[in-house]
A and B are shown apart, each in its own frame.
Chain A
Amino acid sequence: MAQWQEVQSLANTYLEQVHQLYAGSALPMAVRQSLAAWIESQNWRQAAEPLCSQARMLFHSLLVVLGERLGSLGSDREDFMLKHNLRKAHRDLQAEFEEKPETFANLVANLLQEERRILRLGQAGEQEGSAPAPSPAPESGREQQIQQRLGDFHRALQEAERAFRHLEDLQDAFDFCFKVHYRPDGERNSDPEYIQELKSLQDKLQNLHRQRQEVLALMQQLLRRSETLQELLQQELGGWRARQQRQCLGGPGDTNLRPLETWFTELGQGLFQLRQLLRALGELRQKVTYARDPLVTETPLLEQRLQEQLTHLLRSAFVVEQQPSTPNAAKRPLVLRTAGKFSARARLLVRLHDRNHRMEARIHIDRDPPNIRGFRRFNILTSSSKTLLAGDSPQEGLICDFQYLTLKEQKDSRAGKGKGGGGEGPLVVTEELHLITFTLAYAYCGLELELEATTLPFVIISNNNQFSSAWASILWFNMLSSDPKAQQFFSSPPPAPWPRLAEVLSWQFQSVAERGLSRDNLLMLAKKLLGSKPSLDSTVAWSKFSKDSGSGFSFWAWLDGILGLLQEHLKQLWKKGLILGFVSHKQKEKLLKCKRSGTFLLRFSETVLGGVTFTWVEHPETGPPIFHAVEPYTASELVSLALPDIIRDYHMSMEEKNPENPLKFLYPNIARDEAFGPFYSQRMEGNLSDSQKYLNRRLIRVSSRPPNRRQTEEELVVATQDLQMLQLQPRGQGTQQPGGLPWPQPLGTLQVTPGNVGTPQGVTMTPGTLQVTPGNVGTPQGVTVTPGTLQVTPGNVGTPQGVTMTPGTLQVTPGNLGTPQGVTMTPGTLQPRGLGMLQPQPQSLEPPQVASGVPNFQGTLQVAPGAVGTVQVLPGGLRGDSGTLLGTVAVSSGTLPAEQGTLPAELRDLELLPGGRDMQELLQSLQELEPGLEAAGLMPDVVPTLEESFQLSPGSAALLDQHDPFLPQPEDSVLPIVPSLFTDFPPLHIDPSDFQ
């Protein structure tokens, strides 16, 4: 808005001041008003300087413009007065200032200046008057400030350029006069005219001198402005660097370089312009100089100052935009693998370059290697130089983008590190920090500089299993060091203040699963790291964080295991906050104690790497609340069955009770299905009338609990509903627990698909009824596959209702160890309508011998008298099987050496087809050995191996050793009870009432 317009819109008190200003002024307000725009666009200040011809010119122009204005006024009545006033002013001005236009120029300049002052006051007053404006966010406030300053800077630059051109004119005029008039030979020394000219020449020089000073002062002011501006920009850049460092750690923050690039470029442009101006000033000095020429003394100073500033700007403007990272290491940059590809990018924020000059950028790795013994040296295998790309569109900026870089270790420089050689350095590989330096030979407008930018330190690993601890190093460094060149950081890594560490850990969860750690989570972690009384001043040592603390894994490894689990399987649950996560044993009981029965919470295991578990509370009618915790699930289990489904279908079977899902309410008080409903996998709701080829199936988890035990942790998978598929995920740890079932440790899952399980045809099962509730375990599969259940729930062998199997049709796959098939297939024993005849009639029962080609399964089937036998599948590729008939008590507890429990990967999911050789053998053997089989007899070659591979551990007995006196022998199927050995085991009861 024009100044005069602004003045008129001022508040009354200030308008009064304006009136006073013009009351005694030689310039009437009418003229000011009529010619407002013209007056404001002239440079009165400059004209006011003595001996300036401009003043006269301006004065006359004013009179002319005024005359024009008079002529343009119509004959309206309103204009009449104005016309009169203007005419009078024209006359008065001419009379008063004709001879002294400089005074007039000065007068106008002062009036305008005074107006501006009043305007400032008035506007300041208004701002104060209006309610305190909502202060903008500090971010945008700073941005605004920079924008505004950039604007000011450019305006001042233009002003300086104008002043410079004026100076040029003055100098030309002086130069001309000097050459024309000055006669040093002194022939006209007495000539009064010459003296007059000399005086005028002197005045002109004086004027020139003043203008030179003026221009210099403007330049100084410009430099000062740019210095402040640069200071602000450096602060912004520092903020950006910190944000980038944070973002590398997964923290929040905007790392867009665009605004910085714009600002740096604008400032750079201004400074280069100023540089041009200074050079031109130097040229002026070449033409005319005199004693005490300010250009002589001041210009070099200004040049130095400008040069220094420009250099500083450019040096800081070369930044690493993208820190070295491999393409697939999602959200974890700065960890590189030897021979793996990675990329890094640097950018010059001052987007000024000479199109004709190719600027080359180079990269070096560890240009100044730290003096650390055993420090590995690397070569960049790919090309290490690149022409700086200008980018075709100006938006792209000046970037040097290095992609597909690979590193190779310099073998010779490394004295056998990692191979146990003597050259072992003090730092492990994952604590060794490396740097890449970008250099750029910058040249623009005659300025040549070598610019340099250094990446953040990164870790080079050679194996993926180092990835986690490498990342821990990156976390630690970037959390605590802001000096990117501190490659010796891990020689004595500083401890981390807990609040800082907590924040960074929270970012890890945020970036993996979009939800950070809550205060309670952090408190638990703090207690874990710092003991029971963590405070805000506590610090965590690097070794405490990353090194094995005796529990087999470090704090970080534990946490990273959980992060991995979240990433793979639990992202959604974590994001929705359904996993309470980090809750200590004590805390979880405190939380659950006052909740109603069936309230459960999900937490991460503290003993298992990457395990999640749930704990629920049960309030018995008397006594204190009971807390049950299921054994932690790890990725290997969750990969086949998602946690929400586990929770939905989880069952607890208890003595004399129907198994039910104890998980009813998610802590604090959300109905289970409400919380997890959205995450259940879709259930195929089919019914039998559908022409489906297969029945639906579903996996559930069940824990069982012997009556005398408070808590059990073993779990089973039992196929229910359709019983078409069985999955087995036995857990190894149950074995260790007294009273728990001795489970072998086949870690894989056995799947029996309908195709190889005993054809559903012929099996007239009603899916609904076949549940593994005590009393109606009819499913042979259930029996066979989960031998344990039979032991624990004594009644569940009974009533195989709906099992109408014809032996011939049932095919057993080794995978599910068809003991039941054995049962069903022995025609004499199994009758339609189930095992109602489970009276102890050993002779009528055929020990179901199941040959199994599945090495990864070992279980015991224990059956009540009259029920079936024991099936054991041995690891190691043994076709082991032995049937035993237990007389009255099922006794089993087999322990396998751990290594035997693990399967080779390819055997994890083993499916055997019915037509397989094992099958044939089995069937054959079954036929052959109908009356009282002996395992050894069935497969003689197997037994010795069995004996070898089984070890007996005290307190538990392994089956399958036929010489073991405690094992039932085929001949005498009724054995005495040996309670002393199996005290932990509940005797098996079969109550006839259970069966019907």
Chain B
Amino acid sequence: MGQTSGRQERNKKPEVAPSEIMEAEIEVQNTKEETKDVKAKNQKLTSVFGLADLKNEAIGLYNLGQSCCLNSLLQVFLMNIHFTRILRRITVPPSPAQRRNNVPYQMLLLLEKMQCGKCKAVGPTDLACCLSEHRVELFVQHDAAQLFLTLWNLLKKQMKKPVEELSDLYTICIQEHLACQKCSFEVKNNSTMLTLPLPVLDANSHRLKTLEDCLQYFFHPEELTGQNMCFCQQCGRKTTFLQSMKLVHLPQTLALHLKRFCFERSSRTQKLSLHLPFPQELDLREILTESQCQADDSEKGTWQFELFAVVAHSGLSSCGHYCAYIRSLTDCKWYCFNDSEVCQVSWDDVKCTYGHSNLYWRETAYLLFYMKKHPQQPWPGVSECL
């Protein structure tokens, strides 16, 4: 576990880094889980194997009260066969109490319930209770990006065995560069992220036209001047630095977070409903310049993505509703998961989440999940990047 926790230490940064809305609430879980670290029994739930996946029909999740956000994210997780493949191999905790509080295990149970029950929808009550044990409150409207991170951290912490595969599946490796503009002093820093938090407005509050623009803008080097100047060890004083980010590795499932909110002076968060189209196919090699990548050709060869899921939000920043559009990996059709109601939709429906600057209550895409088209097998581990 020492080794594991060591990696967790290092990974802590991206957990906090991606977006402003995230609170540092991770530490608590770290300590909590240590105590439960009993010997894994390596017991597999044999019952969950077999035909379950074959009848992988989209099943709804009942809303337990403001749980639309959780429901949407759960669907995004559970419709991802790469994830469920990992989930099915988790180590089941020995004691009933541990099982009750184990997020991966509860998630697995939910998956089974969804797939065996042949019901239209199931209630994620047990999982929700389990999560509330880990300070994910029930009956509270969550921010999807934040909840996604929380969920993922919980999963990673509590999953014993295939945790590295989990990291490989979701974490993005980037290299941060800080270069002093006065001398040649340069700081490089490798880090991982779970989502790329993409701004939808540029520094002058002009709207960025497309998702590709957002990505370009995100990787655009930024000069740190004035108040933002950094201390240069070589120069011995605060100097202007050029901050840039280079992409090192992209995971099988790439999560993009559209920062559709702005803080007004009144400190109220305002939702930006502006129009931002995103493509069904995304090729990062075409978007990023050579200098924005730090990867070899075989890595870059895998940077072609297909849209897998969209978590959309309707309403205002204070109140609203989430739903998820997911393209099934088995039948390649789009489904809309709106709590208990699941229906097949078309790309036209998904396109409606591009947003409209005059329609504030409409659904707008908030989280985008892209899936690699040609995954490299085996995926290079995150450990190699660090």
Q: Which A positions have Cβ atoms within 8 angstroms of B?
A: 45, 48, 106, 110, 113, 117, 145, 210, 213-214, 217-218, 220-221, 224-225, 227-228, 231-232, 292, 294, 297-298, 300-301, 304-305, 308-309, 312
Q: Which of B119, B336, B340, B360 contacts A214 (CB 8 A)?
A: B340
Q: Is the CB of B320 within 8 A of A228?
A: no
B86-129: CB near A (< 8 Å → 1, else 0) gives: 00000000000000000000000000000000111000000000
Shortest 7 CB-CB distances between A and B: which pairs?
Answer: A217-B341, A305-B361, A292-B65, A110-B118, A228-B349, A308-B361, A304-B361
Once the chains bind, are A224 and B139 in contact (CB under 8 Å)?
no
B315 is an interface residue with CB less than 8 A from chain A: yes
A729 to B359: give the CA distance in the assembly, Å. Answer: 70
B72 to chain A, nearest CB (A): 12
- With a 10 A CB-CB cut-off, give which of B349, B351, B358 has the most chain A CB atoms: B349
> Do residues A301 and B361 form an inter-chain contact, with CB atoms below 8 A?
yes
Known contacts A304-B361, A308-B361; A221 and B119 CB within 8 A of each other: no
The answer for the CA separation of A214 and B120 in the assembled complex, in Å, is 11
Take A220-B323, A301-B314 as given contacts and tell me if A106 and B359 are in contact as well, using a CB distance cutoff of 8 Å: no
Are A309's CB and B359's CB within 8 A? yes
Partner of A301, one of B62, B319, B341: B319
- What are 6 A-B interface contacts by the 8 Å CB criterion? A113-B118, A213-B340, A228-B349, A231-B351, A301-B321, A308-B361
Question: Whole-angstrom distance from the CB of B350 to the nearest CB of chain A?
Answer: 9
Q: Are B362 and A227 in contact (CB under 8 A)?
A: yes
In this assembly, does B299 line the interface, its C-beta being within 8 Å of a C-beta of chain A? no
Residue-wise interface mask of B (303-334) relative to A, using a CB-CB cutoff of 8 A (1 in contact, 0 not): 00000000000110001110100000000000
Chain B, 332-365, CB within 8 A of any chain A CB: 336, 338-341, 343, 345-346, 348-349, 351-352, 358-363
Determine the residue in chain B with the shortest Cβ distance to A46: B120
Residues of A within 8 A of B363 (CB): 224, 227
On whether A106 and B349 interact (CB within 8 A), knowing A214-B340, A308-B362, the answer reads no
Docked CA distance A45–B117 (Å): 13
Minimum Cβ distance to chain A for residue B248 (Å): 38
B interface residues (Cβ-Cβ under 8 A, vs A): 57, 60, 62-63, 65-66, 118-120, 139, 314-315, 319-321, 323, 336, 338-341, 343, 345-346, 348-349, 351-352, 358-363
Instruction: Determine how close the nearest CB of chain B comes to the CB of A119; give it in whole angstroms.
Output: 14
Q: Is the CB of B119 within 8 A of A106?
A: yes
**With a CB–CB cut-off of 8 A, which chain A residues contact B139?**
292
In the complex, the answer to whether A221 meets B341 with C-beta atoms within 8 Å is yes
Looking across the interface, which residue of chain A has its beta carbon closest to that of B348? Answer: A228
- In the complex, which of the residues B66, B338, B346 has the most CB atoms of chain A within 10 Å of its own CB atom? B338
Cβ-defined contact, B362 with A305, below 8 A: yes
Does the CB pair A304–B315 fall under 8 Å? yes
User: Which of A227, A301, A312 is close to B352, meaning CB atoms less than 8 Å apart?
Assistant: A227
For A106, A214, A217, A297, which residue has the most chain B Cβ atoms within 10 angstroms?
A217
Interface of A is mostly: helix
| Chain B positions within 8 Å of A224 at CB level | 323, 336, 338, 345, 349, 352, 363
Q: Are A297 and B66 in touch, CB under 8 angstroms?
A: yes
A294/B63 in contact, CB under 8 A: yes
Q: Nearest chain B CB to A205's CB is how many angstroms away?
A: 14
B63 contacts A228, C-beta separation under 8 Å: no
In the complex, chain B residues whose CB is within 8 Å of the CB of A218: 341
With contacts A213-B62, A304-B315, A309-B359 known, is A221 near B352, CB below 8 A? no
User: When the two chains form their complex, are residues B362 and A301 in contact, meaning their CB atoms are under 8 A apart?
Assistant: no
Report the number of A-B residue pairs with Cβ-Cβ less than 8 Å.
81
Minimum CB–CB distance for A111 against chain B, Å:
10
Distance between B319 CB and nearest chain A CB, rounded to angstroms: 6
> Chain B nearest CB: distance from A590 CB in Å?
48
Q: Please state if B65 and A294 are interface contacts (CB–CB under 8 Å).
A: yes
Closest to B315 in A: A301
- Nearest residue, chain A, Cβ from B314: A305
Nearest chain B residue, comparing its CB with the CB of A308: B361
Contacts of A294 in B (CB 8 A): 63, 65
Chain A residues within an 8 Å CB radius of B119: 48, 106
Which residues of the partner chain B approach A309 to less than 8 Å between Cβ atoms? 359, 361-362
Cα distance A765–B352 in the bound complex, in angstroms: 88
Contact of A308 among B319, B341, B360 (CB under 8 A): B360
Residue of A nearest to B66 (CB): A297
Task: Report yes or no: B338 in contact with A217, Cβ–Cβ below 8 A.
Answer: yes
Known: A217-B340, A220-B338, A220-B341. A308 touches B352 (CB 8 A): no
Residue pair A217, B339 in contact (C-beta under 8 Å): yes
A309 to chain B, nearest CB (A): 7
**Residues in A neighbouring B336, C-beta threshold 8 A:** 221, 224
Contact B62 A312 (CB under 8 A): no
**Residues of the B chain whose Cβ atoms lie less than 8 Å from the Cβ of A228:** 345-346, 348-349, 351-352
Residue numbers in B under 8 Å from A210 (CB-CB):
62
Is B339 in contact with A213, judged by CB distance below 8 angstroms? yes
Residue of B whose beta carbon sits closest to that of A232: B348
List A contacts of B118 (CB < 8 A): 106, 110, 113
Contacts of A225 in B (CB 8 A): 349
The reply to whether A297 and B319 form a contact with Cβ atoms under 8 Å apart is: yes
Q: Once the chains are docked, how many angstroms separate the CA of A45 from the CA of B120?
A: 8
- Taking the closest CB of chain A, its distance from the CB of B121, in whole angstroms, is 9
- Within 8 Å CB of A45, what residues of B? 120
In the complex, which residues of chain A have a beta carbon less than 8 angstroms from the beta carbon of B321?
220, 298, 301
Please give, as numbers and ranges, the residues of chain A lying within 8 Å of B315 by CB-CB distance.
301, 304-305
In whole angstroms, what is the CA distance A879 to B238 when docked?
Answer: 105
Residues of chain A lying within 8 A (CB to CB) of residue B65:
292, 294
A304 partner residues in chain B, CB cutoff 8 A? 315, 361
Q: How far is the CB of B271 from chain A (nearest CB, A)?
A: 13
Q: Which residue of A lies closest to B63 (CB)?
A: A213
Smallest CB gap from A121: residue in B = B331
What 18 additional pairs, Cβ within 8 angstroms, besides A225-B349, A297-B319?
A106-B119, A214-B341, A217-B339, A220-B338, A220-B341, A221-B343, A224-B349, A227-B362, A228-B349, A231-B348, A231-B351, A231-B352, A232-B348, A297-B66, A298-B321, A301-B321, A305-B314, A309-B362
Nearest residue (CB) in A for B123 is A210
B320 pairs with A117, CB closer than 8 A: no
Q: Closest CB of chain A to B240's CB: distance in Å?
A: 40
List the B side residues contacting A227 at CB < 8 Å: 352, 362-363
Among B65, B320, B351: residue with most chain A CB under 10 A: B65
Q: For A298, what are the chain B residues with a Cβ–Cβ distance below 8 Å?
A: 321
Known: A117-B57, A231-B352. A301 touches B320 (CB 8 A): yes
Known contacts: A231-B348, A294-B65, A297-B319. The answer to whether A308 contacts B338 by CB under 8 A is no
Give the distance in Å from the alpha carbon of A294 to the alpha carbon of B65 in the complex: 7
B334 to chain A, nearest CB (A): 11
Q: Of B63, B346, B358, which is within 8 A of A312 by CB?
A: B358
